[in-house]
Structures are given as C-alpha cells and as structure tokens.
C-alpha cells in the first residue's frame, strides 16, 4: 500500500488551509501557511514545490517550519515522479530531526517505488522502532517482508523443473534441465495442473479429462522430442496457455 504523500501530509495537519493567490510565490515573508496550504491540495504539487522551496531557502525559516516544508515538498516531488529529489528532502528533514516515524515510513515508500527494497525495509523498521504502533509502517513492513520472501522462493526455484534433474533419463528431460526457460515452463505447467486437479469444484468427468490431456501432452512431448519439426518450447507454451484457459484467467 503506497501512501507516502498522504502520510507525509499528516505532519501538516495542524496547518490551517488558507487560500493562496498567485502573489504568494513572490511574497518575501517566511510565513509557512501558503506552502502548507498548497501541500494539502493534491492538484497543487508544482505550486507546493515552488512555495515550499522559497521557505526552505530562507535562512529566517524556523527549524520546525523548515521540516514541514521539506516534508511537504518531498510529497509533492514524489507525486510528480521526482523520486530522487523527494528522497533528498526527506533526508534533510530527518537530519534536522531523526525521530520522525512518519517521514521514515514515507521515505521507505519512495525507496520501494524506486525498487530499492532493502532501504525501504530499513526505513519501515526504523519507523516501527520509534513508534511500534505505527499502522502504516507496520503494514508496509509486513507486505514488503512477504514480497521479499516470495522473491527469495522464486529465486531458489528459478531454472528448476518440476522433476529432479539428477534422475532425468529421457533426452527431453535432460534438454529441459539444461535450459532455464524450459525448466521454468515445466515447473509452471506442473504447478498449474496440480492446482487445477485439487480444485474441489471440478466434476469427476472434468478431472478425468484434465488428466487425459496432461498425459497426452507428456506422451507426445516424450515421443516427439528430437523429431524434425517438433518445437518443444512452443508445445510447452501452448500447454501452459491451455491450462491457464481452463482456470479462466
């Protein structure tokens, strides 16, 4: 669940949502109100970046206001796809005050969007260390941990077929073991067949038909492999598509 910009705005809840005008950007004052008011509106990302940028650049801006402006601009940058710049703002906000679970969680979500799962997990963990009951950080940490577990399992199975290659005797089985893509195809075909076979909604006649088609596919694969015109990869892809079609996907 990606909620970075929304969670970031939680830090700004105390700020009044006053209307702003086009003159606010040129206003030389260090009033944080225009920046925070713009940040509260999802469709004013560019305006938020401009207004909060002026506040951040001013040496007269109070520390707490600067933190709010950095978080607000970081959220706006993330919403416009400027993830690297958003992280820089969150880094600066955390340098000013490291004990901000909301900012840690939000930065973790941006790291996750960038595909850097280790840094994302570290930020979610740090947020929970500061605030164990932080609901968003806990949900993010749980979902990312599960994702990493799935990826780890997939990596462990990558290139391995449904059977033990050490016991492969047929030439077609040896060919499958020697080709990563064919091995993955074989494992997917078998997994889909097993899942369909265990479907309690499947009628006995349908189950028998499913088994017959699987036996026919394997028999043809074993006997036809190596013959002129036989394309093992195409046959395996066709079988997987057939099984997927039975599943209704």
Model pLDDT for residues 115-164, shown as the tens digit of each residue: 998 999 999 999 999 999 999 999 999 999 888 888 777 677 788 999 99
162-215 pLDDT, tens digit per residue, is 999 999 999 999 999 999 999 999 999 999 999 899 888 888 999 999 999 999
Does the residue 79 lie in any domain? yes
My answer on whether 10 and 93 are in the same domain is yes
Please give the structure tokens belonging to residue 205. Answer: 């006649």
My answer on whether 8 and 115 are in the same domain is yes
My answer on whether 145 and 59 are in the same domain is yes
Residue 19 has pLDDT above 80, yes or no: no
My answer on whether 147 and 183 are in the same domain is no
SS3 string, 165-182, reads HHHCCCHHHHHHHHCHHH
Query: Which residue, of 98, 124, 155, is where some domain finishes?
Result: 155
My answer on whether 126 and 170 are in the same domain is no
Name which of 142, 147, 134 is nearest 7 in CA terms. Answer: 134
My answer on whether 40 and 150 are in the same domain is yes
Determine the pLDDT at residue 18: 36
My answer on whether 35 and 149 are in the same domain is yes
Query: Which residue, of 112, 130, 155, is where some domain finishes?
Result: 155
My answer on whether 140 and 21 are in the same domain is yes
CATH code at position 138: 1.25.40.10
Does the residue 147 lie in any domain? yes
Determine the pLDDT at residue 247: 58
Rounded Cα distance between 97 and 231, Å, is: 62
29-84 pLDDT, tens digit per residue, is 578 999 999 999 989 999 999 999 999 999 999 999 999 999 999 999 999 999 99
The one-character DSSP state at 15 is S
My answer on whether 86 and 205 are in the same domain is no
pTM of the model: 0.57
Please give the angle made by the CA atoms of 128, 134 and 139, to the nearest 5 degrees.
85
By CB atoms closer than 10 A (0-12, 13-18, 19+), residue 51 is buried
Does the residue 160 lie in any domain? no
Does the residue 21 lie in any domain? yes
Does the residue 37 lie in any domain? yes
Residue 210 CA neighbour count, 13 Å, CB half:
22
The one-character DSSP state at 167 is G
Residue 23 has pLDDT above 90, yes or no: no
22 falls in which pLDDT band (50, 70, 90)?
Answer: very low
Rounded Cα distance between 86 and 103, Å, is: 11
State how far Cα 107 lies from the chain centre. Answer: 14
Does the residue 218 lie in any domain? yes
Name which of 224, 221, 222 is nearest 237 in CA terms. Answer: 221
Query: Which residue, of 88, 121, 155, is where some domain finishes?
Result: 155
Domain count, the chain: 2
My answer on whether 204 and 83 are in the same domain is no
59, 100, 144, 199 from 110: Cα distances, Å: 28, 16, 13, 40
Question: What domain range includes position 188?
Answer: 165-247
My answer on whether 136 and 18 are in the same domain is yes
């Amino acid at each position: 669940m990606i909620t970075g910009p929304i969670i970031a705005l939680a830090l700004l809840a105390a700020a009044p949502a006053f209307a702003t005008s086009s003159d606010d950007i040129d206003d030389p004052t260090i009033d944080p109100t225009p920046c925070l008011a713009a940040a509260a509106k999802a469709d004013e990302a560019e305006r938020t970046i401009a207004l909060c940028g002026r506040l951040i650049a001013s040496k007269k801006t109070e520390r707490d206001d600067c933190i709010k402006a950095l978080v607000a601009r970081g959220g706006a940058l993330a919403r416009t796809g400027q993830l690297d710049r958003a992280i820089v703002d969150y880094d600066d906000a955390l340098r000013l005050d490291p004990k901000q679970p909301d900012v840690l969680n939000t930065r973790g979500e941006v790291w996750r969007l960038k595909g850097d799962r280790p840094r994302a997990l570290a930020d979610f963990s740090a947020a929970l260390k500061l605030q164990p009951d932080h609901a968003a950080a806990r949900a993010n940490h749980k979902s990312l941990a599960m994702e990493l577990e799935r990826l780890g399992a997939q990596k462990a199975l990558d290139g391995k077929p449904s059977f033990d290659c050490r016991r492969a005797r047929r030439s077609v089985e040896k060919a499958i073991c020697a080709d990563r893509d064919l091995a993955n195809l074989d494992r997917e075909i078998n997994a889909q067949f097993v899942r369909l076979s265990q479907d309690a909604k499947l009628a006995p006649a349908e189950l028998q038909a499913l088994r017959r088609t699987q036996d026919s596919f394997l028999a043809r694969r074993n006997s036809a492999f190596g013959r002129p015109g036989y394309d093992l990869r195409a046959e395996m892809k066709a079988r997987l598509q057939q099984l997927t079609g039975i599943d209704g996907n």
